[in-house]
Amino acid sequence: MAAVVAFRHHQRSVADPRERVRCRSQWDTMSNDTIIWTQGGIAEVPLQRFTGRVGAIEVATVEYDGSNRLWTWWSPLAEEIWGHAQEPDGAKQAAELWLRDWLENFRPFFEAGR
């Protein structure tokens, strides 16, 4: 499952074998209930769009881009963060991986309050 992850307009492909090993090991250790994904719908017709929430906070969106035939993910937490995957599960995993890495930057802030 290849995904492209964009960080501040810089793209790296998870198809790179070294990166794939790092990403796969992080993906494999993720809890399935970290982000709760719900599929959108209109008049009981499911859309090709999923919203990811942690509690009441919306942290990511995955939506099918028909013009590129890829699943695009992004986060309302940062404007310049987005990526693509060939399948919705790959996009969800990439979004969660990015979120974990991004939140790691805030660890000193949260630990200082203890």
93-114 pLDDT, tens digit per residue, is 999 999 999 989 988 988 887 7
Q: Which domain holds residue 107?
A: 3-7+10-112
What pLDDT, on a 0 to 100 scale, did the predictor assign at position 47?
94
What pLDDT, on a 0 to 100 scale, did the predictor assign at position 77?
92
How many domains, in total, are found in the chain? 1
Give every strand in the sheet of 70-74, ordered side by side.
10-13, 3-7, 81-85, 70-74, 57-65, 45-54, 36-42
| CA distances for 69 relative to 48, 53, 63, angstroms | 12, 25, 11
Does residue 17 carry a pLDDT above 70?
A: no
pLDDT 10s digits, 58-83: 999 999 999 999 999 999 998 888 99
Number of neighbours of residue 99 by Cβ within 10 angstroms: 20
Confidence of residue 33 (pLDDT cuts 50, 70, 90): low
